[in-house]
Structure 1
């Protein structure tokens, strides 16, 4: 009886919190059925004191041409900032494992966004929306929304060339450093570093007439990125590919850019670069990627043993230590 009274007392004490999460649902006979619903807790993204382990809710930021870009930040705003730019077909959800890791959250302020054409962001299908300046302006909108000052930028896979877009319209000191994770440095090098297993998939991924062919190619692509992903994450990767229109996929892969400022920053020593590779990567070829980075004055190369194209999923501890140690040295 004593246990029951204590339990009742505790339940009554929590009643004001529970009531806020009760929903009234009308039934067929016009009676009211009362059900508990999941609580929704909103944390203001403008509150700089929400804590190192809290999650700032995602937001839509508006790029200069009106394109809506979905972005999210997590971690400690007083620490060095890293902007994560995802790869082909996938959205920012690709970095879930990093953004859910308390050890990352303690040591850096992490921002990610769905690049235009991906995930929850708008998907313009006209060529004018895919010139280099538009992608640089998307990055600017994210930086301004989160009040970032000289963030580090991590470009994974085809996310790497976005840094060339950024530096085409900003001086090198706009950012603190570059991290290429299994990445191409620019669009020109993209098709030179793709593996013999990955490149043949492209025609099937951008064609619009054969659904079965597209489905098979995209599944093959995700399996090449990593052969043993957790099921729900695997489905999320496939879902991001499905929501991208095929004409947008073609624009993602065929857009052009001017990489002059990127390589000037590289050869002048203006920016440090950390290049990370997975030893078992089946999407890109390491040596071809390094050839594209030839002449970079402040270059650190790290190869993670037994790592697939999803380097941080294959070797999470080693990947985290590699990135955070390099940022500490260059902050």
Structure 2
């Protein structure tokens, strides 16, 4: 190889390395670690983004994991924040206790979130909870108050497990608890389909399906009786709270959920995405990331 060719090759490799270093996918590698909940359950935590930026903690929903937030973790718009995700108990890479009480008592989920905040040394984080993640935020607010956080975003969040706020799907929830593997996996697939008004590409949906199939069966049998007192949680919240719901949500009734939350706390703001189902952060990620960025900037401590 001539010296000129060699120099060109070196220059090309340097350009490629620079581009890779700037790409969101590489920036999103971050770090992973585990923290221990007070009852001994190991919680898998992931971090990326700007370690010096305002902290944002993402809390996924039922049958999810940190993978649900890929379109936020890989967003150039959100790269200036310290982005923290974790797998809730019974999900993903976190511990999966067999005791049903480990899931039905909402205080355990609140303790998990508190352990993540403490272990990550996250100062005044913004909490972002999807679906069941909204219940986790409410339980956290009830037990720990809102002094440790800057604000909270409920994304198609469950405000209360009441018939007027939750769309019934008895056959699907029955199948999720079936001891027959085929029936169970079909129930997982059908539940996941209900999460979207516009389904993501096949590769993404397949990954999320595999992700959902990892969830603990013990958790699925117990979680529908999880405790939550939205009146004590949202009613006393003094930090900014934003509700983002997809108007086409097939799992949570958005109008009823928003109305209930704002009845408890009139200061709560809301946004309704006309084209989204239960997962607007996946279905309309650019809009969601923009709205989230504005909220974080307005809510962060000064």
| TM-score after normalising by structure 1 | 0.78
Q: Within 5 Å, which residues of 2 pair with 1:113-128?
A: 113-128=86-101
Match of 1:2 in 2: 2
Aligned with 2:113 (options 136, 139, 146)? 139
Q: Which portions of structure 1, spanning 4 or more consecutive aligned residues, are displaced by more than 3 angstroms?
A: 7-11, 52-55, 257-260
**In 1, Cα distance between equivalents of 2:290 and 2:226:** 34
Match of 1:46 in 2: none
Flag the 1:137–1:85 CA change in 2: closer, same or farther, 3 A: same
Cα contact 1:125–1:251 (8 A) shared by 2? no
**In 2, Cα distance between equivalents of 1:100 and 1:142:** 21
Q: Does 1:272 align with 2:240?
A: yes
Flag the 1:283–1:259 CA change in 2: closer, same or farther, 3 A: closer
Shift of 1:9: 8.8
Report SS of the residue matched to 2:236: helix
Q: Does 1:160 align with 2:131?
A: no
Higher RCO structure, 1 or 2 (CA under 8 Å, sep 6+): 2
| TM-score after normalising by structure 2 | 0.85
Match of 1:283 in 2: 251
Who wins on radius of gyration, i.e. which is larger? Answer: 1
Cα contact 2:100–2:218 (8 A) shared by 1? no
Match of 1:81 in 2: 55
Which runs of no fewer than 5 residues in structure 1 stay unpaired? Answer: 15-51
Report SS of the residue matched to 2:249: coil
Cα contact 2:172–2:191 (8 A) shared by 1? yes
Flag the 1:291–1:7 CA change in 2: closer, same or farther, 3 A: same
Q: Within 5 Å, which residues of 2 pair with 1:280-319?
A: 280-293=248-261, 294-319=263-288
Cα contact 2:33–2:46 (8 A) shared by 1? yes
Q: Does 1:212 align with 2:186?
A: no
Q: Within 5 Å, which residues of 2 pair with 1:189-204?
A: 189=162, 191-196=163-168, 198-204=169-175
Shift of 1:7: 6.5
Aligned with 1:91 (options 61, 65, 72)? 65
Match of 1:110 in 2: 83
**What RMSD over aligned residues (CA atoms) do the two structures have, in Å?**
2.6
* 1:180-208 per-position Cα deviation (integer Å, ceiling 9, x unaligned): 1111124x34x542224x45411111222
* 1:94-124 per-position Cα deviation (integer Å, ceiling 9, x unaligned): 1111101121112x22111000000000011
How many corresponding residue pairs? Answer: 286
Shift of 1:8: 11
Cα contact 2:90–2:215 (8 A) shared by 1? yes
Match of 2:19 in 1: none
**In 2, Cα distance between equivalents of 1:87 and 1:192:** 20
Report SS of the residue matched to 1:225: coil
Which runs of no fewer than 5 residues in structure 2 stay unpaired? Answer: 15-25
Shift of 1:307: 1.4
Report SS of the residue matched to 2:194: helix
Shift of 1:148: 0.6
**In 1, Cα distance between equivalents of 2:192 and 2:85:** 20
Aligned with 2:102 (options 129, 132, 148)? 129
Comparing 129-138 and 87-96, the one that deviates more? 129-138
Cα contact 1:55–1:74 (8 A) shared by 2? yes
Report SS of the residue matched to 1:222: helix
Q: Does 1:150 align with 2:124?
A: yes
Cα contact 2:45–2:84 (8 A) shared by 1? yes
**In 1, Cα distance between equivalents of 2:78 and 2:200:** 21
* 1:81-105 per-position Cα deviation (integer Å, ceiling 9, x unaligned): 1111101111111111110112111
Report SS of the residue matched to 2:276: coil
Flag the 1:4–1:262 CA change in 2: closer, same or farther, 3 A: same
